[in-house]
Structure 1
Amino acid sequence: MNFQHRKRLILQTVDERGSADVRELAELLQTSEMTVRRDLVQLAASGLLYRTRGGAMKVSLATDNFQFANKTAVNPEQKDYICQLAAREIQEGDVIFMDCGSTVFRLCPFIKNKRISVITNSLPILAELMSSEVTVNLIGGEVDKERQAVHGLIAEEHIARYRANRAFIGVDGISLQNGLSANSEKEASTAVAMANQAETTYLLCDSSKLETNKYLRFAPLSLFDILITDYEASADLVVKYKQAGITFIN
């Protein structure tokens, strides 16, 4: 496969997923990881994508918000695995909440062709779903430029006006002893508001966050109904969570 063909497939993949790592691109292109790295360097030099440690991401994500883009690029394989599992839970015609978490954002490519309604406070999610089959309801309120999301009292009042079949929320930390924790009061309050208005709440959480505690403890484990994590969660830990009454998908 020549460079022009590889270039087209790389850019298409990064555009659809938001980011991609070297290994998955090598498998897609049926070439070596060394060739992929060389291609990514050339494409980044031309301003066509943003080079990350271990892969690449869309330029728009990197320039709109470097911090958020970096978060989406952490553990991409695990996050995509989680989101594939989450997408299977969504039925045609569903109304769903999606918060501004970096894992929740990666759900977008897996729901683009579903005829559903999404209520979100995330500007990156809005941008990803604008040209899809999905109907998007953007929550109103004050824009947090750093987080690329809408937060605040007006946002929570907006959320309270709607009922959804499902809510998909992220978390910075979760532990059996202390429940859910976050690095920000804003994100915590939005997650709670969405969970309160959904029939079923899914916590999307990569295994690195299990049994970790962050700055703010904001909710007990009862806030969510189903925990979806990745295949790297230890078997012993999975057993403990299930024994605590948590419905677990991994």
Structure 2
Amino acid sequence: MLTDERHAIILSLLNDAGIVKTQELMRVLDCSESTIRRDLDQLEKANKLKRVHGGAKRLYQLNQELSTQEKSLKNIQEKTNIGKFAASLIENDDVIFIDAGTTTLALIDSLKKGNITVVTNGIQHASILAEHHIQTILLGGKIKASTKAIVGSTSLNELKSYQFDKAFIGINGIDIEFGCTTPDPEEAAIKKLAIHQSAVSYCLADETKWNKVNFVKVCDLQDVTILTNKSRVDLTSFKEKTTIMGATS
């Protein structure tokens, strides 16, 4: 096998698992320990990975947050499919939390259950819910201009007063090692508290959110059920860490 081929396989395994062991690479690539060590040294010098005892780990680059307008133009069909699937999980008389975000916004258009109560920190979400004649509570607090989310101590204090049957959370990054992450500490605090206050929590994430890491951790993978366009994402390495439900069409 050519060196470039081995390097591509090593980086692919790192992308899926976050960390690889030398012994595993020897087995997968069918080559000697000295060859693997040389490959890892070369990839580390190229700033592709970080050597650790017995193997290597992936290097992470924190992702910058896009505005709501920028997000709304990306992966529209995938978000629509995930939104429809999320909406199908809502039952009559549910009290739910819908987080600010473009993927969570997509579930509102598919809501069929009218006898529900929704709490949200999304200004656009509250407006559309009201148009659908759904009983809606918009959290008070500071408006974050880029995402039109309400955040801060006022919204957190209000949120502490509520309990939910289900919470639907938007997320910016999902990683097997670092869990669910987002760029903004104030938005992370809202998401984290909503998960804590809910009997069941769902994280809505299209394929672009997987194997990404952002500044602030929201929760461990075990804390939520992830709704994703399953057929487009390799979920093998995540299956022991979380419950995953696929929304494909």
Please say if residues 203 and 227 of structure 1, whose CA atoms lie closer than 8 Å, have aligned partners that are also in contact: yes
Whether the 8 Å contact between 2:166 and 2:200 is mirrored in structure 1 is: yes
Matches within 5 A, 1:24-43: none
Partner residue in 2 for 1:243: 240
Q: Which letter maps to 2:107?
A: L
Question: Percent identical across equivalent pairs?
Answer: 25
C-alpha distance in structure 1 between counterparts of 2:237 and 2:94, whole Å:
32
Q: CA deviation at 1:152?
A: 0.5
| Distance (Å, rounded) in 1 between the aligned partners of 2:98 and 2:171 | 12
CA displacement at 1:112 relative to structure 2: 5.8
Q: Would you say the 8 A contact 2:207–2:228 is kept in 1?
A: yes
Residues 206-241 of structure 1, C-alpha deviation per residue, up to 9 Å, x if partnerless? 0111111122234322332x110014433xx32322
1:182 maps to which residue? 182
Amino acid paired to 2:238: Y
Moved runs in structure 1, 4+ residues, more than 4 A?
A: none
Q: What displacement does 1:195 show?
A: 0.5
Shift of 1:145: 2.7
Written as runs of structure 1 = structure 2, the 5 A alignment for 1:105-120 is: 105-111=105-111, 114-120=114-120
How far apart in 2 are the matches of 1:73 and 1:89? Answer: 26
Residue 182 of structure 1 and its aligned partner are, at CA, apart by 1.0
CA deviation after TM superposition for structure 1 residue 88, in Å: 1.0
CA distance in 2, matches of 1:114, 1:193: 25
- Of the two structures, which has the highest relative contact order with CA contacts closer than 8 Å and spacing of 6 or more? 2
Alpha-carbon offset, residue 150 of structure 1: 1.0
CA 112–149 in structure 1, closer or farther in 2 if over 3 Å, else same: farther
- Residue 92 of structure 1: aligned partner: 92
Name the amino acid aligned to 1:212.
K
Where do 5+ consecutive residues of structure 2 fail to align? 1-65
Aligned AA (2:191): A
Match of 2:170 in 1: 170
Contact 1:180 1:218 (C-alpha < 8 Å) held by counterparts: yes
Q: Which residue of 1 aligns with 2:129?
A: 129
Instruction: Determine whether 1:229 maps to 2:231.
Output: no
Q: Is the contact between residue 191 and residue 218 of structure 2 (CA under 8 Å) also seen in structure 1?
A: no
Alpha-carbon distance between aligned partners in 1 of 2:208 and 2:186, rounded to the nearest angstrom? 22
Which consecutive residues of structure 1, in runs of 5 or more, have no partner in the other structure?
A: 1-65
Residue 114 of structure 1 contacts residue 134 of structure 1 at CA under 8 Å; is this kept in 2? yes
Give 3-state SS (helix, strand or coil) of 1:130's partner.
Answer: helix
Distance 1:151 1:193 in 2: 12
Q: Within 5 Å, which residues of 2 pair with 1:191-230?
A: 191-224=191-224, 226-230=225-229
The normalised TM-score by structure 2 is 0.69
CA contact (8 A) 2:92 2:113 kept: no
Partner of 1:138: 138
Say if 2:179 and 2:219, in contact at 8 Å, map to a contact too.
Answer: yes
RMSD of aligned C-alpha atoms? 1.6
Q: Which has a greater percent of helix?
A: 1
Residue 197 of structure 1: CA displacement? 0.5
1:112 touches 1:132 (CA, 8 Å); kept in 2? no
Bigger radius of gyration: 2
Letter of the structure 2 residue corresponding to residue 247 of structure 1 = T
Residues 178-217 of structure 1 deviation map (CA, whole Å, 9 limit, x = unaligned): 1111111121111001001100000000011111112223
The answer on whether the counterparts of 1:192 and 1:223 sit within 8 Å (CA) in structure 2 is no
Q: If the length of structure 1 is used for normalisation, what is the TM-score? A: 0.68
Quick one: structure 1 residues 143 and 165, their matched pair in 2 at CA, closer, same or farther if it must change by over 3 Å? Answer: same
